[in-house]
Every structure is written in structure tokens, then in C-alpha cells.
Amino acid sequence: MSHQAIYRKYRPKTFDEVVGQDHVTETLKNQIMRNSTAHAYLFSGIRGTGKTSTAKIFARAVNCTNNTDGNPCNECDACLGILSERNMDVIEMDAASNNSVEDIRDLREKVKFLPSQSKFKVYIIDEVHMLSKGAFNALLKTLEEPPEHLLFILATTEPQKIPATILSRCQRFDLKRISVKDMMANMNTICSDLGIEAEENALRMIANSSEGALRDALSILDRCLVYSVDKITYEDVIMLLGTVNYNTIIRFTDILIDKDIKELLMVLDEILSQGKEITLFLEGLIEHLRNLLILKSVKDGQSFVNTGEDAIKLMKNQSLKLTVDDNIRYIEELSETLALCKRAVNSRILLETRLIKLLSVRTVAVETVYIEKPVSVSESAPKQTVKTETSHKDEVLQTSNEAGNEAVSEVIAEDDGEILRQIQDNWDLILQTVKKRKISLNAIVKESQPHRVVKGEVILRFAEQYTFHLNRANAKESIEFMEQVFKNILKKDLKVRFIIEDSKKKESDEEIREKINEKAFELFGKEKVKIID
């Protein structure tokens, strides 16, 4: 005898056997017992949650001649005929391959005939969202004025694609994702029935990887049974799924927290050398970081984390080492990396690069020489403040005053220069924080750039085409909000002001600036001079 897939062999035959959909099955049972069924139903939900199984049970239940509690007896002639697919009054259609107007018109002609063997003629239309617009219009006429003997059960994974005119004529039931707990209980029952031993962690891993789809979980379980006849172990599941061992995820996260780039790359090399998929590894790592965040942020957060008690203890200890801000930053950066890796030519190089970027801490040793008296080229020329430093880049801080022909220089304190670097290093984080709390303000602020810091005032500059943005950005509530963001991230009380770049002025002073730069190079040496616009 050929092998029968587990999800087919253990397909539920009564409403009580349907896993995790009590809100649907109890309602349907009550309708059947009270003889108050509707003429059209819509079952929606992700794959593998029991839409088609529930529809088949419902088709038997409404036609069962021995129904007492809303469940089909599965023993009467009507039930046995439907189970063996001999009953011609229950018709299953796949809308993916029968989606034309002609198919629905043919259906409309057939529904006029009375059922031959049962009380109701039941049409189960799977993936109904695949019907064409014309087919929906043809179906609508039947749904508007259905014969008393007719029952439609529509099933779909994408209810948003179904016209409102169809939806309004159906009783809609949304089948939810199956919980890890319910899936584990169902798989335990199946394993017991088959005489197979299964480790709890193994079943949990299967349930977690199926993302709420019980059919997917049972398909994985089927593969595990073929691979390991007597006992299903956690390691077996890890190998078959191609995922990374949870202890490795814990170890990798510890290294991530310690910011040990060399060790991180070594562990990553071990993971990839075992043939693990980068995307699956990242998904596991992101989920683990999410669990750490929940445990750290929510009292009794273990109820939101689908894992065992031993793992919960490990995660709680690890969450103490990681700040909430870093945790959120890691999740956001790694989620973006995951999306990029899915379409990257070389996902390994991309992952390594972004991990190094994530952990790199920019440190700059600065030795600054200030010239308080501006260097002048001519009596009327704008003046500059020159700043030299022994860092990885050379800069000269240039300022000019637009009031008449007189030049006024701003002397920038060393602390202000350090604050500017901190702002530049954290600029992406600042924008992300603004976006989370005030998305409309983020659309404006993201067009600016940190320009300079003068006596504790942060000056953010727009290009000259963003004149409209300036007034909105300098509004009182916007300034107060930005000052609070800077305080939260940099731990400093700073004032904030937005300005507009004057490109015409810069162009007219270009020759003068070059002369001033040459003078600065002559005084301090070109290798020790930076120029800041």
C-alpha cells in the first residue's frame, strides 16, 4: 500500500477534532443544532489552518441524518458517501484552475437541480480569490437569490481580493494561526498513535518553524518520521530544516553583545561551513533578539515567548547584558540585512560587512589647534576659523558672515566638535527615533544634515530647494521634540536650529576660500588640516 501523508491520514473528521479554531467550530455546531445555517460562508486564513477540512466537515454535518451535537456522525449513508467522495451533492472546485466566466455559468446551471442523495447541495470553492472579475459577477447572481437547497462554502488565503459585493453576502469566519502549544499537543497525539517517541524541543522546533500552519508542521513531522523511525530528536529536526542550533544562537548573541568581531566571524564561518542557510540563520537570530526584548521589557514576558523553561532562563540572563536601545537597533539592522541577503549576489559578504558595521565603534583621537584671530586675505574678504587635528581625516572649519562686507568668525569649542561627531555617528538612529514617534516630521528632518554645533546649539542645514521645510522644522513643537530626541540619545541638553544652505554665497566666495585654505596649509601643514563646510 502506498504511503499516505500524515496531514491526510489525520485530517479531522469532526468539528471537535479541528485544532485551534474553537471560535469557528462552536458557532457552526450551534447553527446546525438550531437549524439556522446561512446559504453562503467564507473561510479565510493562512495555508494549513483547517479551512478546507472545516468546509468538508460542515458539508457532512448539514447533511448528516444522525446529527445530535452539531458534529457529523460519519456513519450514516450521507456521511459515508461524502467521505468516500461518492456523493454527487457535495462538489469541490479549485478556483485556481476553474476561474473563468464559463466555469461559473456552468455551475449556475447545475445548482438549479435538487440534490439527489442529500438534504443540501454543497459547493466548496477553494482559493476563491482566483476567480476572474467576470466569474465573480456571474457568481454574485446566484449568491443574491440562492435556492433553498444550496449551500456555498468559499475558502481563501487572500480575502482582501474578494469583491465587497461577494463578501457582504457571506458569513465570514477568519481562521487564526495555530498556536505552538496546540500544534505540539496535536503532534504528540499523532506520535503516540504511531508509537514514535519525540523530544519536546524537537516538536517545539517543528511548531515554531511552521509559523502557525498545522499542515506545514505535519509535513515536517512526516519527513522526520521517514528519517528517524524510532525517535525524533532536536538534532534531527535541526538537520532536516537546515536551521541553526539554539545553543549556537545563544553563543552568537553573546559575542554580538561583547562586540568581538573576530570571534563573531569565526562562529559565522562555522555556521555557514555546516551548510546552513544565511536567511534561516538570520531569521532565528532576529526571533531570539525579539524574545530577549520581550523578556526585558514586559513583566511575565515568557507568555509571549514560545520556548521551553530552560531556554527562558538562558534568555533572561542574556537579556540583562543588552540594553533595550541596542536590542532594538540590532533587530532593525539585522531585519534590513535579512531583506538584502534574500536578493544579494553574495549574501555572506553582505552579512559580514553589515555585522562589522553594526559592531564597529568609531573612535577619533583629536589634538586641536585654534586660531582665534581670523586669517585674512584682504580687508574685505570673509574670514575663517581654522581647526587642525591629528585624526583619520583633516578638516578646516570655515565660517562666514553675510552682514555687509564685514567678516565675523565663530570659534568652535572642542566639546562642540566632539558633539557634532557624535551626532553624525548617530544620525541614522536619530532619524529612526523621529520616524517612530512623528513620521510626518521625519519626512522633513531627513532632508537636513548635521552642519555644526556652536556653544551647545545644534545647527541642521537644508539644501536651498527645501525652503518649505524650514518653517515647519523650526516650529516650536518641532524644535522641542528634536531637542528631546537629542537628549535621549546623546544624554546632553542641546538647543536645535535649522538653516538653509546659501549656495550662491558659497560660489561667490569660492576663490577667497581657496586662498584662505592655502594660508592654513602653509601655517600648519596640509596633512594636519581638515575643511568643514
Domain residue ranges of the chain, discontinuous segments joined by +: 6-174, 180-241, 246-359, 369-521
Average pLDDT over residues 328-339: 90
pLDDT score of 497 more than 90: yes
Report strand pairing: 231-232 vs 197-198.
parallel
Where is pLDDT greater, at 376 or 511? 511
What is the percent of the chain with per-residue pLDDT over 70, rounded to a whole number? 82
So what's the pLDDT on residue 395? 38
Q: Give the Å distances, CA to CA, from 177 to 27, 32, 157, 174, 283.
A: 18, 25, 12, 10, 19
pLDDT in tens, 196-209: 898 888 898 888 88
pLDDT in tens, 122-173: 999 999 998 888 888 888 888 888 888 889 999 999 999 999 999 999 999 9
* pTM, rounded to two decimals: 0.58
The pLDDT score that the predictor gives to residue 384 is 44
Distances (CA, A) of 414 to 247, 365, 389, 407, 517: 46, 12, 11, 22, 20
Q: Which of 65-69, 137-141, 225-229, 231-235 has the lowest mean pLDDT?
A: 225-229
Report the DSSP beta bridge partners of residue 231: 197
Measured distance CA(291)–CA(308) in Å, rounded: 12
Residue 309 has pLDDT above 70, yes or no: no
For residue 389, is pLDDT > 60?
Answer: no
Mapped onto helix, strand or coil, the DSSP state of residue 161 is helix
The sheet carrying 171-174 orders its strands as: 90-94, 121-126, 150-156, 40-44, 171-174
Q: What is the mean pLDDT of the chain?
A: 81
337-346 contacts, C-beta under 8 A, 24 or more apart: 337/282, 338/279, 338/282, 338/283, 338/286, 341/278, 341/279, 341/282, 342/279
Q: Are 285 and 315 in contact (CB under 8 A)?
A: no
H or E segment and range at residue 153: strand 150-156
Report helix, strand or coil for 475.
coil
Nearest alpha carbon to residue 140 among 148, 122, 132:
132
Q: Name the nearest CA neighbour of 258 among 269, 246, 270, 267.
A: 267
Instruction: Tell which residue, 357, 367, 361, has the closest CA to residue 394.
Output: 367
Fold assignment, 246-359: Zinc Finger, Delta Prime; domain 3 (1.20.272)
Give every CB contact of residue 120 below 8 A, 6+ residues apart in sequence. 59, 62, 63, 89, 149, 150, 151
CB 140 within 8 A of CB 166: yes
Grid coordinates of 82 = 461524502
Of the two residues 482 and 521, the one the predictor is more confident about is 482
CA separation for the pair 509, 514 (Å, rounded): 9
Residue 528 scores a pLDDT above 70: no
Question: Residue 383: is its pLDDT beyond 50?
Answer: no
Q: Cell 537597533 sits at which residue?
A: 329
Q: Which residues of 185-219 are buried (b: 16+ CB within 10 A; e: fewer)?
A: ebbeebbeeeebebeebbbbbbbbbbebbbbbbbb
CATH topology for the 369-521 domain: GMP Synthetase; Chain A, domain 3 (3.30.300)
Mean pLDDT of 502-510: 52
Q: Regarding the domain with residue range 6-174, which homologous superfamily does it belong to in the CATH classification?
A: P-loop containing nucleotide triphosphate hydrolases (3.40.50.300)
pLDDT, average across residues 94-119 = 82
Q: Is the pLDDT of residue 529 over 70?
A: no
| The one-letter amino acid at 417 | G
pLDDT per residue as tens digits for the range 404-463: 333 333 444 557 888 888 999 899 899 988 988 888 788 889 889 999 898 889 999 988
- What do you get for the CA distance between the two ends of the chain, in Å? 80
pLDDT for the residue numbered 371: 35
Number of neighbours of residue 5 by Cβ within 10 angstroms: 12
Length of the chain in residues, anyone?
Answer: 533
Q: Check if the beta carbon of residue 237 is closer than 8 Å to that of residue 202.
A: yes
Residue 211 binned pLDDT confidence (cut-offs 50, 70, 90): confident
Helix (H) or strand (E) holding 217: helix 214-227
pLDDT for 344 equals 86
Is residue 157 a contact partner of residue 44, using CB atoms and an 8 Å limit? yes
Q: Which residues pair with 457 in a beta bridge?
A: 454, 495
**Residue carrying the nine cell digits 532619524:** 431
Q: What is the pLDDT of residue 378?
A: 40
Up-side HSE of residue 109: CA atoms within 13 Å toward CB? 5
CATH of the domain spanning 180-241: 1.10.8.60
Mean pLDDT, to the nearest integer, of 391-400? 36
